[in-house]
Amino acid sequence: MRFYPHQHRHTCGVDLHGRNLYLCILDQQGDVRLHKRLRCDPELFLQAIDPYRDDLVVGAECIFCWYWLADLCADQGIAFVLGHALYMKAIHGGKAKNDKIDSRKIAVLLRSGAFPFAYVYPPLMRSTRDLLRRRLHFARKRAELLTHIHNTFTQYNLPRPAGRLTCPANRKELPELFDDPAIRATLKADLSLIDHYDGLIPDLERTVLGQARVHDPDNLRRLRSVRGVGKILGLTLLYEIGEIARFPSVQTFSSYARLIKCGKESDGKKTGTSGAKIGNVHLKWAFSEAAVCFLEHNPAGQNYLQRLRRKHSKGKSLSVLAAKLGRATYFILKQQTTFDMNRFIAN
């Protein structure tokens, strides 16, 4: 957990929502100078804070609609701090809770140096990252539809379809295998959506890949040198990591990617682990997938996994492998080098 340590003449806490916001401005003595509700309108926001622009910092909790406020502050030269949603429990723990109270709590936390902040992803690559996340969402929906078709055959105790359903030729005649018109309609609906996703997903991939070649082709090439990292995993790592310099150590990076567990300890006694849901879920998925792909057609990697299994279970061994791939990725980006298989399995 990192806290914003800098002091400013004026501190603005914003309780942000989709259509409205509530702001609270404190001076250096902690007195409230402005406390009011506004529509989410850039002009109204700038008018409200204008008398306090001298050495002002704005803080808001990280929710889905923070982009416009962060970009507005950047354009106006105003310091902006994004609060980590899972760490800002102080604004949720009071007896009474409303927007007015929450905005003041945010301002007080920011003024006191106890404001847990998150990374403000740069706007240049932000929209492409969001597009890549939508592509992943659509790919999972497509997989759910394919699974539903298999489950339908199992429901009625029929042989599973021959061949891979990812191939359009293997799924064309599937609805005709059922006499019930409702079942046929169900399968036709699934197949229609799958056909649509088959055209949509590659188009999104080409768009993201084209943007990546403009944004950071060198780091994309370095990431794809990692054994087990292909086009989609490479793009995911590139856009979810962003600037590697924002991670001061490999331990910080591994924690952000959910590759390590954080211990809980009190009075010298270990009470378990915590923070499993804090971090980037997309990086966790990418490194877990990379660990499985790392083993395909890779005898040296399979031998390395066997070495790990002498100490750990099968599932734990794959987690250790994913964590090590994460560490290797960190140093590849930090040192501007490429993946070395011999060095990787030697340790």
**CATH number of residue 68's parent domain:** 3.30.420.10
* Window from 93-102, 106-115, 218-227 with minimum mean pLDDT: 93-102
- Is 226 contained in some domain? no
Instruction: State both tokens at 60.
Output: 């808001």
130 and 114 together in one domain? no
Tell me what the mean pLDDT of segment 1-28 comes to: 94
108 and 142 together in one domain? no
- Is 2 contained in some domain? no
110 and 130 together in one domain? no
Instruction: State both tokens at 334.
Output: 């930090």
Q: What pLDDT is recorded for position 346? A: 84
68 and 146 together in one domain? no
Tell me what the mean pLDDT of segment 120-149 comes to: 96
94 and 140 together in one domain? no
Tell me what the mean pLDDT of segment 262-269 comes to: 78
Mean pLDDT, the chain, integer: 93
235 and 342 together in one domain? yes
Phi and psi angles of residue 269, each rounded to the nearest 5 degrees, phi first? -110, 130
For residue 81, give the nearest of 117, 106, 28 by alpha carbon.
117
- Is 58 contained in some domain? yes
Last residue of a domain, one of 118, 135, 150: 118
Please state, in angstroms and as integers, the Cα–Cα distance from residue 3 to each residue in 9, 71, 82, 88, 224, following that order.
18, 21, 11, 11, 34
Q: What pLDDT is recorded for position 162? A: 84
**What residues contact 183, with CB distance under 8 A and at least 6 apart?**
152, 156, 175
- Is 207 contained in some domain? yes
- Total domain count, the chain: 3
- Is 222 contained in some domain? no
- Is 342 contained in some domain? yes
Total Cβ atoms within 10 A of residue 77? 8
Last residue of a domain, one of 118, 152, 184: 118
For residue 56, give the nearest of 72, 41, 39, 38 by alpha carbon.
72
Q: What pLDDT is recorded for position 152? A: 94
Is residue 270's pLDDT more than 90? no
111 and 193 together in one domain? no
* Window from 96-105, 115-124, 220-229, 263-272 with minimum mean pLDDT: 263-272
Q: What pLDDT is recorded for position 263? A: 79
- Is 293 contained in some domain? yes
Is residue 269's pLDDT more than 90? no
Tell me what the mean pLDDT of segment 239-249 comes to: 96
Domain that holds residue 113: 10-118
The pTM (predicted TM-score) of the whole model is 0.88
169 and 155 together in one domain? yes
Q: Which pLDDT band, with edges at 50, 70 and 90, does 216 fall under? A: very high
Q: Which pLDDT band, with edges at 50, 70 and 90, does 126 fall under? A: very high
Q: Rounded distance, CA 76 to CA 53, Å?
A: 10
At 100 the three-state DSSP class reads helix
